[in-house]
Every structure is written in structure tokens, then in C-alpha cells.
Amino acid sequence: DQQVKQNSPSLSVQEGRISILNCDYTNSMFDYFLWYKKYPAEGPTFLISISSIKDKNEDGRFTVFLNKSAKHLSLHIVPSQPGDSAVYFCAASGGGGSQGNLIFGKGTKLSVKP
């Protein structure tokens, strides 16, 4: 049973436009959510996180939105750049039995075209 879902395996966006990556979760006990970016042959790189007590967190071009009632979060990248092309993973933690570990989605491959 997948507790964190990224339903779009891929997304293509024009340079300069907004990229919106989506993530849904099923476990209402999750209280901390993260986004990671992964290039081929490298480990995931931490991008941005949000605690369940907030509904928005910004860091430069990256903004994460959390909708707890819908159990949905999204990552907005504005403006998108070709260097943003990578696989993006959503992750969550805090549910019963998951202390200290992250539950990952399967990723969305973002392609930003010049």
C-alpha cells in the first residue's frame, strides 16, 4: 500500500514558466514533508520541507504548499530553468511506526526545455 503517491511520472515545462509537481499521501499521522531532487548517478538532494503546522514554505524559486484536508502537497518552481531538469521525490515522515524514516513517492521526472 503506497502511502505517498506521485501520480505524474513526468512533466515537461518551458524555461521561464512555472513547474508544479504534485504529491498525495494517505497517512494522516504524517507531520513533516520534504521534496528532494535527484540527478542520475547522484543521491537525492534536499530542496525544501514543510511542517504540518504550516500551509506554505518558500525558499527562493521553490515554494511548497500543504493542504492537510486534501492530504496533498505541491512544489512550485518559478521561474523554471533547464538546470531544474531532474527527478523530484516527495517524502513524508512522522506516521506511527515511521519514526526517523522517510516514506518516498516514486518520483516525477521534470524536463525544462530552453
Partner 1 sequence: EAGVTQSPTHLIKTRGQQATLRCSPISGHTSVYWYQQALGLGLQFLLWYDEGEERNRGNFPPRFSGRQFPNYSSELNVNALELEDSALYLCASSLGGWVWEANNQPQHFGDGTRLSIL
* Residue ranges binding partner 1 (CB under 8 A): 31-32, 34, 36, 41-46, 49, 51, 89, 93-94, 97-107
Shortest Å, Cβ 93 to partner 1: 5
> Nearer to partner 1 by C-beta: 42 or 60?
42
Shortest Å, Cβ 113 to partner 1: 26
Shortest Å, Cβ 43 to partner 1: 4
Residues contacting residue 112 through CB under 8 Å, at least 6 positions apart: 12, 13, 14, 15, 19, 80, 81, 82, 83, 84, 85
> Nearer to partner 1 by C-beta: 13 or 107?
107
Cα 62 to Cα 96: distance, rounded to the nearest angstrom: 29
> Nearer to partner 1 by C-beta: 12 or 51?
51
Shortest Å, Cβ 99 to partner 1: 5
Query: Quick one: 86 exposed, middle or buried, by C-beta within 10 A (0-12, 13-18, 19+)?
Result: buried
